Structure 1
Amino acid sequence: MFQWIKKAFSTPRIEDYKPHKLMPRVVDISGVKFHFSMPENFSLDMPADDLVEHVNLSQYENMAESGAIQLMKRWWDFYNGKPHPRNTVGTLMLSLDILKKPSNIDGSLFSHEPMVNSIHQNTLRTHEVSTAEEARQKGIEIPESTSEMREFKRNGFNWVNGFEGYVGNSMSGVNIFYTPVSENWYLRAWFLFSIGDRKCYNFAYDCARLERLRILDSFCLDFPFSIPEREAVENRPSYLPPKEQIEKTEKILESMRSLRKNN
């Protein structure tokens, strides 16, 4: 009996979390194959549409510059106990979208400056503001400028790491990753995490971060044409977690890669 009471009031740990197997997916974006994998233990109470597997970008040439082509939106829940909505302590959402380079920006998105300028301008448009300070007044945190965007290599491709948050709200946040799929279009992977139980904050946050990294680690593109290669611009924004925290998460992720190989 006392063991049951202890378990009922205990706080779960990331070491107790058992991630589900990742299942591969492919999206054909005008001949560019976007490969990724995700677990299929989707949220029990959040709706989800099927993945859009084929996109012809030429059909969207007249799309409003503030618009986006949504490929998918999925949710995953993390539980303290058996999977059930009442046991949910945190949620991770992933939205995959394709956005267009603004018409006033010159150059190819495979170059750094046009890419980050497009991201920054579209972010301001999304929130209907002209500066990060205006966004903050609306309760939204976004990068002040393109210099706060970190670029990194993942599976041989350049990705830009963006961030959004909510003023005064430490229970949720957004990590966004962008990569070009053509000279004028780019892919956006929007991860939103939300913590529902403060006493389980560390567990839910670590689970969301681990799943985000697992999915991100699977991102790969197959281009039917050659793309220019260049080094990533390694800015380090102030909002990133401490280096030690990132390294700890990467070690956990590496351990999980080893487990997948052994299985």
Structure 2
Amino acid sequence: MAFNIIVCAKQVPDTNVIKINPKTGTLIRDGVPSILNHDDANALEEALMIKDKFDDVHITVITMGPPQASDLLFECIAKGADEGILVSDRAVGGSDTWATSNTLEAAVRKWVKENGDYDLIFTGRQAIDGDTAQVGPQLAEKLGLPQVSYVEEFEISDDRKSVTVKRQLEDGYELIEVQLPCLLTTIKELNTPRYMKIAGIYGDKDIKTWNARDIEVDLTKVGLEASPTNVFRSFTPAPKEPGIKIKGDSEKELAKNLLINLKGKHVI
């Protein structure tokens, strides 16, 4: 019986080139290339590393988005995933994190009906176009799974009954052992995502497309109108004032000039 891993991923606009409309305060997405969300790439990579270690691992990538989001699934399969599922329907468009997690929950439950139980779910910590870090934990709650977020180190037991993870905190870390199945959200420190394989790029792609009816999701809990949160305004922060450069021909002179400057500002 296969060891089943589900990876939830998102196609996002490349924020390195995205701009904000100064009148509407919304993101200008036209003409902006879409990419695999960074943290989700780390989630996929960790799943692939498990597949490298064991022979019977099956990886399914699920994404929610418009039809062009299938490009993300092609990329994931080219890296080594076994199948991709695109949930695409106007009924789920505009969903906030709560409504998105409702959609993903329904998609996971449909996958279970068709394939049996999963052993592990990976998601990225957050998407670079929203930075909420909410969808993964919300999905875990709705599936009734134990969860650990901000995973920066990962180790699976030889019997594949549990995992030990290092969870990043602002002032340190937690070392946690979790029984499977569970859901983990990953961060960039966890690993370095691999490139696509030539064989994967030109090989067969097992991609399915499901709509809202297929996953039997409650339409009153998805989409823009069902979303309890809305973005009021997006804006580019004003640039910070330039810092003060302390000059000096030696370390002693630099230290002296720094003290003079601090005293002048009544800091010391």
Q: TM-score band, normalised by the shorter chain?
A: under 0.3
- By relative contact order (CA 8 Å, sep 6+), the higher-ranking structure is 2
TM-score by length of 1: 0.28
TM-score by length of 2: 0.27
